[in-house]
Structure 1
Amino acid sequence: MKKILVIQQKMIGDVLLSSILCEWIKKHVPESEVHYCIHANTLPVVQNNPFIDQVVLFNPKKQKNKKAFWKFLKQIRREHYDTVIDAYGKTESNLIAWSSRAPKRISYKKWYSRFFYTETVTRKPIVYTNAGNALEDRLRLVVPEDAIAENILKPKIYLTESERQEAKKRLVSDGIDGNKPLIMIGILGSAQNKSLPHKTMAQLIDATIAQTHGQLIFNFIPSQKEEVLQIYKLIDHSKKSHVFLGTYGKGLREFLGLLSHCSMLIGNEGGAVNMAKALNIPTFTVFSPWIHKKAWNLFEDGKHHVAVHLSDFEPERYQNASMKVFKKQSDTLYQKLTFNRIQPYLKKFISGILKS
């Protein structure tokens, strides 16, 4: 039996996306034992995944503690992996892969890659499907270029029936009517430069309520509550009764349970969008002006999954442009991504979902 380690550190969206590698391996190397090395805080999105035999949890603090990190590397070496696939490709995963002493170590090509890996592949801007550049680049680690389109897999989150039932009980106890649309709002991105201006977000919320007469719950963490309240204050007073501020997941699995009962998710690009897609929940995503839409607009089809980006309105601005420069100008560029530009796309999306 082959023992294979897949490495994907850092963000929830990345960990969820790279889980397709575990699924691909299990389907094409059925006798393999697949381990998945991830940051501890991202575990909830891969719990119960039938294609992962063992999760190897990495605590980022270990990277700063040389003794603890060295102990972790020795633990990896003792596993005697046959193959290591590093989908992260940065310092900590370089060292994990190299320390494994696996006969086959695969990652992305960088100037220093040959010191750590036996095989490297090049990320490419070419996309063959609507799965998105980020997903297709993952597949390049395991399949040849001409086989990418036929090997597309969708990331999936596996909730238990009891988790869904607990979430349903919570919604009922909070006064949410199961016969009306329930909409999750990705009210904030993972950083200020990945979040719509407060006024624009409030306008989108008002428009969503006006069109759906639905019930809205927000996705946020406790440390963001003050900023969320600032946006809430900007919502039209007559529409605030549609917002259930007290209904939110206290943990990631609880959030996923609530999300699984939603009719759609609307909001800033980020991990919540990817989680919604992994639960087959329709999504409307607003991308930050400095994030590559082509990389992360997974499975955009113009109906169930719709995404807008400043480049959709000002394509000339993005010709031969540097996203690093745009990152520094994010506040200014967000002002150009106005409600009037976004609203027609949002209206069409909502109309399509309500009819389906």
Structure 2
Amino acid sequence: MKKILIIQNKRIGDVLLASLIATNLKKVFPNSVIDYMVYDYTTGVIENNPAIDNIIEINEKQLKKIPVLFKTALKVRRKNYDIIVDPYAKFQSRVISLLSGAKTRIGFKKRDKNPPLPFYTHNIPFLLEKSKPCGKSIEDRVNLITSVFNIESPTYEPKLYLTDKEEQYDKLNQYNKPVVMFGILGSTPQKSMPYDYIVDLIDFVTETYDVYALFNYSPHQKEDALTIYNKCKHKDRIIFDIYEESIRGFALLMNKCKLLIANEGGTVHIAKALNKPTFTIFSPYVLKEHWASFEDGKTHTSIHLLDEKPELFSTNREQRKKIEEDPSFLYKQLTPKIIIPRLDTFLKFHLTAN
């Protein structure tokens, strides 16, 4: 029986996408025990996953301390894993991999390291370009495994598994119209639209379609969310008193919503893993081809400034100066006037207009 450890010390979306590594390894080693090491605040997206036998929670800040890192590495070594998979290749995870004693250690080859560093026995290069509708980020993670093990039919679609009890979540039962989840703020300022822009989108949806709007944001962003709410025209169409602080709670809430409109991030991947339609607004600073997954223009679609105004991505001196002077310059160019026609097409396919 193989003992396998996957280390994914990164954010929520990455943890969900990398769960595909466990899914595909179970096809090769159905009787294996697969442990998944993740930051403690990300576990909600992998609970009840049948391919993951044990979730090992680590604290992000603590792991950056050298004594804690080596203590964690020694704990891993004592478990005598046969296979280690490190899909992020961060300093901490590389140290844990190297000291694990595992005979098979799989990680990504850094483009600028030739020959590759000795953290892994299998250094897998990133794909040059995507070839599947799942997007390059998912394709790279699956390729990490299929490059080492023979898998006839790899799985490329992440899933989020809810229990029967969780399926009965009832906080939205009192509402007799579809509920649209709005991811109103990104995880960082560079992933967040200007507030006035998101207000315009909310006003458009609540004026045009027979729905309620529900906000999602991180707990520390509540004041910002309230600022956005107070600027909206149709507060009677906004559900502001229902909110889940945990990732798992958000998944239960999202599962009862009709669809998601959001800045690109982990919530989009959660919605897709729940088979909910998504309209994604990409930050101009994020590579769309890496993170845009399963887009068909109907169930899942997105918008990126590069597709609308490629001339803004010129590398001339004047353009660079504008971006240096105002880091949000590019995001301000992705205006509601550009977004709303695309959003309206998406909503017409899924909703009834007023």
TM-score under structure 1 length normalisation: 0.91
Picking from 286, 290, 295, the partner of 1:291 is: 286
Instruction: State the identity %.
Output: 39
Q: Which of 93-102 and 214-223 deviates more?
A: 214-223
Superposed, 1:71-82 pairs within 5 Å as: 71-82=71-82
Instruction: Give, in angstroms, the shift of residue 108 of structure 1.
Output: 0.8
**1:31 and 2:31 are equivalent in the alignment:** yes
Q: CA deviation at 1:176?
A: 2.1
Evaluate the alpha carbon distance shift between residue 263 and residue 288 of structure 1 in structure 2; reply closer, same or farther with a 3 A threshold.
same
Q: 1:40 — aligned with what? A: 40
Please give the secondary structure, in 2, of the residue aligned with 1:171: coil
- In the TM superposition, residue 352 of structure 1 has moved relative to its aligned partner by 0.8
Alpha-carbon distance in structure 2 between the residues aligned to 1:240 and 1:262 = 18
Match of 2:187?
190
Say whether 1:304 aligns with 2:299: yes
Q: Deviations over 1:95-151 (max 9, x none)?
A: 111111111111111228422111111112411111001001111211149x99953
Q: Which residue does 2:131 correspond to in 1?
A: 128
1:1-356 alignment runs, 5 A limit? 1-110=1-110, 111=113, 113-144=116-147, 151-165=154-168, 167-168=169-170, 170-172=171-173, 175-177=174-176, 180-236=177-233, 239-318=234-313, 330-354=327-351
Q: CA deviation at 1:318?
A: 4.1
CA drift at 1:194: 0.7
Partner SS for 2:165: helix
The answer to whether the 8 A contact 1:288-1:330 is kept is: no
Change (3 A) 1:231 1:125: farther
Hey, what's the Cα distance between the residues in 2 that align with 1:215 and 1:54?
38
Change (3 A) 1:325 1:20: farther
Root mean square deviation of aligned Cα? 2.2
CA contact (8 A) 1:3 1:34 kept: yes
Q: Quick one: distance in 1 between partners of 2:327 and 2:350?
A: 31
Tell whether the 8 Å contact from 2:109 to 2:116 is kept in structure 1 after alignment. yes
Deviates more, 1:227-236 or 1:195-204: 227-236
Contact 2:172 2:256 in 1 (8 A): no
Equivalent residue letter for 1:242 = R
Q: Which runs of 5+ in 1 are unaligned?
A: none
CA distance in 1, matches of 2:79, 2:54: 12
Secondary structure of 2:22 counterpart: helix
Stretch deviating more after TM superposition (256-265 or 56-65): 56-65
Separation of aligned partners in 2, 1:247 and 1:79: 43
1:64, distance to aligned residue in structure 2 (A):
3.6
Q: For each residue in 1:67-107, what CA deviation from the matched residue of structure 2 results, as whole angstroms up to 9, or x when unmatched?
A: 33222111100111111111010100001111111111111
Count how many residue pairs are aligned between Structure 1 and Structure 2. Answer: 344
Is the helix fraction higher in 1 or 2? Answer: 1
Do the aligned residues in 2 keep the contact of 1:48 with 1:158 (CA within 8 Å)? yes
Residues 19 and 102 of structure 1: is their aligned pair in 2 closer, same or farther, counting only changes over 3 Å?
same
Corresponding residue SS for 1:31: coil
Please state how far the C-alpha of 1:160 moved relative to its aligned partner. 1.2
Contact 1:125/1:133 (8 A) holds in 2: no
- Whole-angstrom CA distance in 2 between matches of 1:327 and 1:82: 48
Structure 2 segments unaligned to the other structure (5+ residues): none
8 Å CA contact retained: 1:164, 1:258: no
Taking the aligned partners of 1:148 and 1:51, their CA distance within structure 2 comes to 15
Distance 1:150 1:336, change over 3 A: farther
TM-score of the superposition, structure 2-length normalised?
A: 0.91
For 2:54 and 2:90, locate their aligned partners in 1 and report how far apart those are by CA, in whole Å. 22
Q: Are 1:184 and 1:262, in contact at CA under 8 Å, matched by a contact in 2? A: yes
Q: CA deviation at 1:34?
A: 1.1
